[in-house]
C-alpha cells in the first residue's frame, strides 16, 4: 500500500540504512572508549588517560568529517577537477581521462590566480570573472559582501537593541510580543526564502500590493538590481532581528536595577543611563553576538540563492554565492578545483577579519580560558 | 489586538503632562475614526481601519505601537502563507490581502498528499534529521565533558579549532564532502547526507555542551567519586542526568538545522528518487501557477510543528545558545 509516495517497503528500506548506522556508531563509541582507556591507563600510563578517552570519539569524528575534508579541499585546490575531468579523479574508472597528472603546483597557481585575474599567455588582462558577466569580479563581489554584511549587522543590532530596550520596560503583553517577534527565527530558512521570493513578485506579492495601497509605485523587486539587493537585505534583517532581541534582552535583564536607581538619583537622563550603564555592561554579550553575526552573515547564501538566485544580471551575488555557483552551479561552471581555491581565499579573508576583530575587541578571550 | 490594546486605561507614559496626554488620546481616537470612515467610503477595505488604529496606537501609546507594528511585520508573512494555502485553485492569483481568502478550501492540502509524494519527503527528512541529532549527541557528549573538566595538552588548540570551524564557508566543506560522497558512491543516498550534516553538527554540539557542563559545579561529582576509576561512574550517574536539558537543547538545535537544510541536500541528493521536503517544496515553487497553493500547504505543514516546538522550548533554546556561544 502506498500513500503520498510512502509505503511500508520504503519505510523499512530507510530504517534498514539508518538504524545499523546509528547502532554501529554507538557500539563503536563504547568499544573505542573502553579500549582507549585500558590502553592509555595500563600500557601508556598517562595521567590524562580519562580525558583523552572521553575525547576519542569526538577527535575521530572531527578528523574524519572535518580535518580530512579540509585537507582534501586544499588538495583539490592543487587539482584540475571539474565536470569533464571527474572520471580522472574517481577511484573507479568511469571513462576516458585526458589529464597526464592529477595534482600539481601548476594547477594550484592557475586556480588561485583565476580567482583574481584573467590571464592569457602569462599576461594579466584584467580582473577575472568569477561568474558569467564581466561585472562579477573579485573586488566587486568582495565590496558587495562587505555591504551586505555591514548593512545586515547594523540593522540587526539597532532594531534588536531598540526592541529589547522597549521590552525591558514595564509594559503589558510582553509575553505575547516576545512570542510573535521571535517567529521569523523559528521558520526554516528555505520557507523564508521561497515565501519572500513570491511576496516580492511585482504583481501578486503583498509587498507591492501594500505599496500601491499606500499610494506608491509598484517596484519590480526581482528585475531591478538595486531593488533586488534591498529585498534580500530586508529579508535577512527580518530573519536576524529576533536573535539580537533575545540575546540583548537577556543581557539587559541581568543588569541589577540598583545601577539605574543610583544613576537616576544622580540626575542621569535616559541617554546617559543607556550610554554609561547599559552599553558597557552589555559588552560581553554584544561583542560575541556581533562577531557571530558577522561570520554568519558573511557566509549566508541561502536567502540570496532562493530569492534572487544571484540575479538580475548576477547583481546580488556575494562571495559565497559565487563560490556555490562555481562549485555546484550549472554543469558548465562546475569547476571544483577552482572553487576549492576560491573557498580557501574566502575563508582566509574571514579568518583575518576575525583575528583582528577578536584581538582588538578582546570579546572572546574568556571562551577558552574558563 | 489593536482594539484590545486601545481599550486599556492609560498607564504612566514616558511623555508626561496631563494635558499633553489627553491631546494624544484625542488624536488617537480621531485617527481611528478617520480609518473607519475611509474603510466605509472605500467599500469596506479594512486595511484603512487597521492603519488608522495602528497610527492611533503609535500616537497614544508609542511603545505599544512600535511593538504591535514590529509584531505585525514578523507575523504577517506567516499568516500570508496560511492564507495562500487556503485559497481555491482558481483564486490563487489574487491581489487580495485577506487572511481568510474568499472561498477558503483545504484542496491544496489534499492535492499535496495525493498529487505529490509529500509524506515520503517528510519521512526522508525526518529519518535524516533524527539520525544526525542522535549521532551528534553520542559523539560529542563525553568529549565536551573532557573539555569542561580537565586541562590537558592540546586542549586550547582544539577549542580554537572548533571555534574556527564556525568561520568556514559552507561550500568549503561541501566541495570535498561532495567529492568524497561521489567517490564512495553515496550520492542520492540518505547516508551521504547524514555524513555531511554530522560534520557540522559535532563541533557545534561540543561547544554548547561544554558551556553547559561548565555551569555544573565540579563538587557534585567530586562528592560522588572516590578514585579515578569511579569518575566515569560519577559522569554517567551524576552529570549526564543533570545535563538532560543541555542534551535536549543540542538535540533540538541539530534537529532544527538539519530539518531546514537545503543547499547541501541539493548537492548530495541530485536525482528525484530521494528528496527531502525542502527539495520537494523547491520543485513546487517554480513559477506562479497552481503549485503555489501546494507549496504553501506544504510550508504550513512542515513549519507548524517546528514553530510550536520552538515556542514551547524557546526559553531553553535561548539559554542553551547563550551558554554555548557567549559564556563559553
Contact B190 A171 (CB under 8 A): no
Contact A6 B169 (CB under 8 A): no
A chain contacts of residue B307, beta-carbon cutoff 8 Å = 183, 186-187
Taking only the tens of pLDDT, chain A with its 370 residues reads: 678 878 888 888 888 888 998 899 889 988 888 888 888 888 887 778 888 888 899 999 899 888 999 999 999 999 888 877 777 777 665 566 777 778 888 888 888 988 888 887 777 888 888 887 778 899 999 999 999 999 999 999 999 999 999 998 888 888 888 888 988 988 998 999 999 998 998 888 889 988 888 888 889 998 999 999 999 999 999 999 998 898 888 888 888 888 888 888 888 888 888 888 888 888 888 888 888 889 989 999 999 999 998 878 889 999 999 999 888 887 666 788 999 999 999 999 999 988 888 788 765 554 444 4
Give B263-318 pLDDT, tens digit per residue: 999 888 887 778 899 999 988 886 556 588 889 999 999 998 888 887 777 666 66
Contact B143 A179 (CB under 8 A): no
Same domain, A212 and A348: yes
- Residue of A5, A13, A42, A286 best to disrupt the B interface, most CBs of B under 10 A: A5
Which residue's entry shows cell 550517574?
B237
Tell me the shortest Cα–Cα distance from B19 to chain A, in angstroms: 22
Domain count for chain A, please give it: 2
Give A228-250 pLDDT, tens digit per residue: 999 999 999 999 999 889 888 88
Same domain, A249 and A319: yes
Could you say which of A33, A56, A77 is where a domain stops?
A77
Is A88 within 8 Å of chain B by CB? Answer: no
Contact A73 B172 (CB under 8 A): yes
Same domain, A184 and A71: no
Provide the 3-class DSSP secondary structure of residue A7: strand
B chain contacts of residue A186, beta-carbon cutoff 8 Å = 306-307, 310-311, 314
Contact B175 A370 (CB under 8 A): no
CA distance B130 to B316: 19
Distances (CA, A) of B94 to A207, A231, A343: 13, 22, 43
Same domain, A56 and A170: no
Same domain, A48 and A151: no
CA distance A302 to A11: 30
Contact A367 B159 (CB under 8 A): yes
* CA B45 from centroid of its chain's CA atoms: 33
Query: How many CA atoms lie within 13 Å of A224's alpha carbon, on the beta-carbon side?
Result: 11
Q: Transcribe A201-260 into DSSP letters.
A: -TTTSHHHHHHHHTT-----TTTSHHHHHHHHHHHHHHHHHHHHHHHHHHHHHTS-HHHH
Task: Give pLDDT, residue B322.
Answer: 57
Same domain, A202 and A66: no
Is A148 within a domain?
yes
Distances (CA, A) of A350 to A117, A346, B328: 21, 6, 21
Is A304 within a domain?
yes
Give A303-358 pLDDT, tens digit per residue: 999 999 887 888 999 999 999 988 888 766 678 899 999 999 999 999 998 888 87
The CATH number for A191's domain is 1.10.3720.10
Is A251 within a domain?
yes
Q: Transcribe B177-204 into DSSP letters.
A: HHHHHHHTT-TTSHHHHHHHHHHHHHHH
Is A352 within a domain?
yes
The 10 Å Cβ neighbour count of residue A157 is 18
* Helix (H) or strand (E) run with residue A6 in it: strand A6-7
Tell me the shortest Cα–Cα distance from A225 to chain B, in angstroms: 20
Is A229 within a domain?
yes
Q: Which residue from A163, A186, A204 is facing B310, i.e. has the nearest CB?
A: A186
Same domain, A40 and A183: no
CA distance A24 to A18: 10
ipTM at complex level: 0.87
Residues of chain B with pLDDT under 70: 1-17, 43-45, 225-231, 286-290, 314-328
Is A61 within a domain?
yes
What's the start-to-end Cα distance of chain A, in Å?
57
Residue A103's beta-bridge partner residues? A79
- Is residue B324 classed exposed, middle or buried when 0-12, 13-18 and 19+ CB atoms within 10 A define those classes? buried
φ, ψ (nearest 5 deg) of residue A222: -95, -5
Could you say which of A77, A111, A127 is where a domain stops?
A77
Contact A299 B183 (CB under 8 A): no
- Is residue A23 classed exposed, middle or buried when 0-12, 13-18 and 19+ CB atoms within 10 A define those classes? exposed
| Contacts with A32 (C-beta within 8 Å, 6 or more apart), sequence order | A56, A57, A60
* Helix (H) or strand (E) run with residue A101 in it: none
Same domain, A57 and A162: no
Provide the 3-class DSSP secondary structure of residue A3: strand
> Which domains, and CATH codes, for chain B?
2-105 (no CATH), 111-327 (1.10.3720.10)
Q: Which of residues 191-250 of A touch B (CB under 8 A)?
A: 191, 194-199, 201, 203-204, 206, 209-210, 213, 238, 242, 246-247, 250
CA distance B118 to B277: 7
- Residue of A22, A31, A55, A324 best to disrupt the B interface, most CBs of B under 10 A: A55
Backbone Cα Rg of chain A: 26
Is A195 within a domain?
yes
What is the domain range of residue A314?
A: 138-367
A chain contacts of residue B140, beta-carbon cutoff 8 Å = 58
Q: A323: phi > 0 → left, psi -120 to 50 → alpha, else beta; which? A: alpha
CA distance A76 to A89: 10
Distances (CA, A) of A115 to A136, A139, A333: 11, 10, 14
Same domain, A46 and A167: no
φ, ψ (nearest 5 deg) of residue A126: 155, -170
The 10 Å Cβ neighbour count of residue A4 is 17
Q: Mark out the alpha helices in chain A (DSSP H runs).
A: 8-38, 49-62, 68-77, 86-89, 105-116, 138-167, 174-181, 183-186, 189-199, 206-213, 225-253, 257-265, 270-273, 279-298, 302-307, 319-328, 336-361
Give A12-22 pLDDT, tens digit per residue: 888 888 899 88
Q: What's the longest Cα–Cα distance across chain A? A: 83
Q: How many residues does chain A have?
A: 370
Distances (CA, A) of A29 to A41, A319, B251: 18, 39, 18
Task: Give pLDDT, residue B327.
Answer: 37
CA distance B241 to B116: 43
CB pairs under 8 A between A and B: 324
DSSP state of A155: H
CA distance B70 to B57: 13
Using an 8 Å Cβ cutoff, are A314 and A135 in contact? yes
Could you say which of A36, A61, A77 is where a domain stops?
A77
Q: Transcribe B229-243 into DSSP letters.
A: THHHHHIIIIIHHHT
B chain contacts of residue A182, beta-carbon cutoff 8 Å = 74, 310-311, 314
CA distance B314 to B102: 35
A81, closest residue in chain B (CA to CA)? B179
φ, ψ (nearest 5 deg) of residue B99: -75, -45
Same domain, A157 and A294: yes
Task: Give pLDDT, residue A182.
Answer: 87
Distances (CA, A) of B235 to B135, B207, B238: 19, 18, 6
Using an 8 Å Cβ cutoff, are B83 and B293 in contact? no
Dihedral angle computed from the Cα positions of residues A235, A240, A241 and A245, in that order, rounded to the nearest 10 degrees: 170
| Contacts with A137 (C-beta within 8 Å, 6 or more apart), sequence order | A127, A128, A129, A130
Amino acid at each position: 500500500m502506498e500513500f503520498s509516495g510512502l509505503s511500508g517497503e520504503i519505510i523499512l528500506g530507510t530504517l534498514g540504512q539508518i538504524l545499523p548506522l546509528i547502532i554501529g556508531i554507538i557500539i563503536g563509541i563504547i568499544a573505542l572508549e573502553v579500549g582507549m582507556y585500558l590502553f592509555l591507563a595500563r600500557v601508556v600510563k598517562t595521567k590524562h588517560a580519562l580525558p583523552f578517552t572521553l575525547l576519542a570519539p569526538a577527535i575521530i569524528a572531527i578528523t574524519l568529517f572535518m580535518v580530512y575534508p579540509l585537507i582534501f579541499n586544499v588538495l583539490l585546490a592543487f587539482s584540475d577537477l571539474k565536470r569533464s575531468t571527474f572520471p580522472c579523479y574517481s577511484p573507479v574508472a568511469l571513462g576516458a581521462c585526458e589529464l597526464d597528472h592529477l595534482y600539481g603546483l601548476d594547477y594550484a597557481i592557475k586556480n588561485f590566480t583565476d580567482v583574481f585575474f584573467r590571464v592569457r599567455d602569462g599576461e594579466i588582462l584584467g580582473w577575472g570573472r568569477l561568474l558569467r558577466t564581466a561585472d562579477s569580479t573579485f573586488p566587486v563581489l568582495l565590496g558587495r559582501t562587505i555591504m551586505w554584511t555591514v548593512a545586515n549587522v547594523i540593522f540587526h543590532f539597532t532594531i534588536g537593541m531598540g526592541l529589547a530596550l522597549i521590552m525591558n520596560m514595564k509594559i503589558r503583553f510582553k509575553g505575547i510580543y516576545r512570542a510573535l517577534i521571535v517567529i521569523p527565527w523559528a521558520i526554516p530558512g528555505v520557507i523564508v526564502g521561497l515565501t519572500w521570493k513570491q511576496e516580492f513578485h511585482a504583481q501578486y506579492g503583498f509587498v507591492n500590493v501594500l505599496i500601491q495601497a499606500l499610494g506608491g509605485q509598484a517596484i519590480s523587486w526581482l528585475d531591478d538590481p538595486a531593488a533586488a539587493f534591498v529585498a534580500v537585505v530586508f529579508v535577512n534583517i527580518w530573519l536576524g532581528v529576533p536573535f539580537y532581541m533575545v540575546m540583548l534582552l537577556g543581557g539587559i535583564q541581568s543588569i541589577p536595577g540598583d545601577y539605574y536607581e543610583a544613576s537616576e538619583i544622580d540626575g542621569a537622563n535616559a541617554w546617559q543611563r543607556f550610554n554609561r550603564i547599559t552599553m558597557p555592561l552589555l559588552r560581553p554579550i554584544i561583542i560575541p553576538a556581533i562577531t557571530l553575526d558577522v561570520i554568519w552573515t558573511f557566509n549566508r547564501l541561502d536567502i540570496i540563492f532562493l530569492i534572487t538566485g544571484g540575479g538580475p544580471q548576477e547583481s546580488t551575488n556575494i562571495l559565497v554565492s559565487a563560490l556555490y555557483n562555481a562549485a555546484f552551479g550549472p554543469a558548465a561552471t562546475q569547476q571544483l578545483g577552482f572553487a576549492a581555491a576560491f573557498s580557501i581565499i574566502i575563508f582566509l579573508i574571514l579568518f583575518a577579519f576575525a583575528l583582528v576583530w577578536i584581538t582588538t575587541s578582546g570579546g572572546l578571550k574568556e571562551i577558552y580560558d574558563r | 489586538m489593536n482594539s484590545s490594546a486601545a481599550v486599556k486605561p492609560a498607564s504612566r507614559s514616558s511623555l508626561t503632562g496631563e494635558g499633553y496626554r489627553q491631546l494624544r488620546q484625542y488624536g488617537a481616537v480621531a485617527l481611528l475614526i478617520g480609518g473607519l470612515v475611509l474603510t466605509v467610503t472605500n467599500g469596506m477595505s479594512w486595511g484603512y481601519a487597521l492603519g488608522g488604529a495602528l497610527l492611533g496606537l503609535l500616537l497614544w501609546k508609542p511603545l505599544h505601537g512600535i511593538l504591535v507594528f514590529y509584531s505585525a511585520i514578523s507575523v504577517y508573512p506567516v499568516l500570508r502563507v496560511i492564507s495562500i494555502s487556503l485559497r481555491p485553485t482558481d483564486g490563487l492569483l489574487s491581489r487580495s490581502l485577506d487572511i481568510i481568502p474568499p472561498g477558503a478550501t483545504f484542496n491544496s492540502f489534499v492535492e499535496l498528499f495525493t498529487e505529490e509524494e509529500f509524506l515520503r519527503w517528510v519521512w526522508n527528512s525526518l529519518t535524516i534529521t533524527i539520525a544526525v541529532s542522535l549521532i551528534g549527541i553520542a559523539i560529542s557528549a563525553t568529549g565536551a565533558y573532557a573539555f569542561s573538566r580537565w586541562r590537558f595538552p592540546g586542549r586550547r588548540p582544539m577549542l580554537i579549532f572548533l571555534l574556527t570551524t564556525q568561520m568556514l564557508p559552507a561550500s568549503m566543506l561541501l566541495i570535498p564532502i561532495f567529492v568524497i560522497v561521489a567517490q564512495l558512491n553515496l550520492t542520492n543516498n540518505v547516508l551521504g547526507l547524514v555524513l555531511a550534516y554530522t560534520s557540522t553538527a559535532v563541533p557545534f554540539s561540543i561547544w554548547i555542551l561544554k558551556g553547559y557542563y561548565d555551569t555544573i559545579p565540579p563538587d557534585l561529582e567530586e562528592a560522588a567519586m572516590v578514585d579515578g576509576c569511579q569518575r566515569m561512574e560519577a559522569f554517567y550517574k551524576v552529570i549526564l542526568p543533570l545535563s538532560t536539558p543541555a542534551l535536549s537543547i543540542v538535540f533540538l538545535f541539530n534537529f532544527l538545522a538539519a530539518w531546514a537544510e537545503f543547499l547541501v541536500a541539493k548537492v548530495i541528493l541530485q536525482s528525484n528518487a530521494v528528496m527531502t521536503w525542502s527539495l520537494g517544496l523547491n520543485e513546487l515553487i517554480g513559477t506562479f501557477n497552481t503549485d503555489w497553493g501546494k507549496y504553501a500547504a506544504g510550508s504550513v505543514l512542515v513549519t507548524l510543528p517546528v514553530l510550536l516546538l520552538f515556542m514551547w522550548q524557546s526559553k531553553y533554546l535561548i539559554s542553551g545558545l547563550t551558554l554555548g556561544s557567549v559564556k563559553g
